Copies of this chain bind each other. A is one copy, B any other.
Amino acid sequence: MSETYAGKALDFLKRYNLQEGDTIEIIKNGLRIRGIIMPSYSSTDDILVLKLDNGYNIGITVDSINEIRVLQKGRKKDEGRKEEKKEIEKESEVTIISTGGTIVSKIEYDTGAVRPALTTEEILEFMPEINEIAKINATILFSILSENMKPEYWVKIANEVKIRLDKGAKGIVIAHGTDTMTYTASALAFSLKSLTGPVVLVGSQRSSDRPSSDAPINLFTAVLVAKNAPFAEVVVNMHGESSDTYTLVHRGVKVRKMHTSRRDAFQTINDLPLAKVYYRERKLEMLREDYLKKSETNEVDPKFEPSVFLLKYYPGLSPDIVDYLVSKGIKGIIIEGTGLGHTSSDFYEAFRRATKDGVFVGMTSQCLFGRVNMNVYTTGRLLQDAGVVPLEDMLPETALVKLMWVLAHEKDLDKVKELMLTNFVGEINPIHIPEMYPRWYHDRIRLQ
């Protein structure tokens, strides 16, 4: 029953006849703490892990516990599981496809490093209340860190999504590492042209056995979105601010990981989020009505030409790199230019040679916010004359994935250009409003 516990903590559980899943209340240093006993992955054997009402897991040294009271016995782990499983397979409303990442990771306490290892069943143990909002069915497609994600995996995920939606799931949750989640979101968005329900990517910035993990809340709200959302889009659902009030549902082609470690790292760029999900209230609030509607059928078209390159321009960059890429048979280049979409004039001829060779060259901006406009300055005009195509307000990463997808379907440069400028799933936002630019802090602060 308590196989993850050993030593002092296990003795403690035995003494009070406790097991994982029991809801208890303890008093520690005069503080009353109420929570559910969770599996432990602590390196020391005197820690009891409790899941609090706010979704957090905390570790408590058993010696520090002054009083304990059992509020509710959890159901025994395997009791009735087989029958339940059958029922889930038949009637599941949401399928969770697990691909790896921190959300399904545990810490290797020997090294302190994190590896993707938890099974989907273990995730569900962390979040038993998911069963209260949807009948779920979980599957492990693969288990990789998202920095190792590749276009061929995007194909597998897209196909699995179609299979599961065709089988009757109302929506899909994809557990994914955060590092490359937005690239996968774009890839799925372009691949899944028509959907019967939402496809919700979810991850966590802190692993599920850490006290401040965002995994439980992100997963719980993702299931809620997959089951209840009115749209049929590929979205990312992650913490919206640094506390646990709400998660945000971002359009997959307009979201970017903007912080290395904060739980609210994912933010919509050049657009507004689709929805907000209040965790405690279990409430999905739509922020917009201009979402993609549900279709009768699921269409999947996941093909990607991996021979593309994302080139970030900087002063001192030599145009030789363009000729090298063309000589190696590259099919397309997305430039992250400066400002409105520029490179130095040294690049004109290299781009002209590339586009004459049939290589698509598209321009985005390293500013990230705003829209490229290559008609304002002479540089932009000359770059266009050399065959470079301005890609509106698309994020560089979205443009790159879109180009991989477009080039797998079309070789003719004019048609590639036309497709790159076709707004398939909201990757181009024609209207920008001031609220789409975040607000920086500009005041005085007393630093230590």
Contact = CB atoms under 8 A, between A and B. Distances in A.
A378 B261 CA distance: 16
A433 interface: yes
Nearest to A444: B287
Interface stretch (A120-128, A214-222, A313-321, A354-362): A313-321
Q: How many copies of this chain does one complex carry?
A: 2
A183 interface: yes
B290 A447 contact: yes
B369 A258 contact: yes
A113 to B, nearest CB: 5
A257 to B, nearest CB: 5
Interface in A261-288: 261-262, 264-265, 267-268, 272-273, 276, 285, 287-288
B431 A447 contact: yes
A344 interface: yes
B306 A316 contact: yes
A36 interface: no
A338 B373 contact: no
Nearest to A152: B316
B262 A437 contact: yes
A148 B258 CA distance: 29
Given A287-B443, A378-B115, A260 B344 contact: no
A273 B317 CA distance: 29
A54 B267 CA distance: 35
Interface string A295-322: 0000000001010111011111100110
User: Helix, strand, loop or mixed for chain A's interface?
Assistant: loop
A406 B343 CA distance: 25
A352 to B, nearest CB: 17
Contacts of A400: 314
A340 B260 contact: yes
A445 interface: yes
B114 A376 contact: yes
Interface string A370-408: 111101111101000000000000000100100010000
A93 interface: no
A151 interface: yes
Nearest to A321: B309
A265 B434 contact: no
Interface in A206-254: 240-242, 246, 248
A148 B373 contact: no
A246 B369 CA distance: 21
A26 interface: no
Contacts of A336: 312
Nearest to A276: B442
A371 B441 contact: no
Nearest to A187: B315
Contacts of A435: 441, 445
Given A260-B371, A310-B314, A438 B441 contact: yes
Contacts of A81: none
Nearest to A380: B113
A345 interface: yes
A183 B315 contact: yes
Contacts of A184: 315
12 contacts: A112-B375, A113-B377, A147-B337, A150-B344, A180-B338, A257-B338, A257-B366, A258-B367, A259-B370, A259-B437, A287-B445, A435-B441
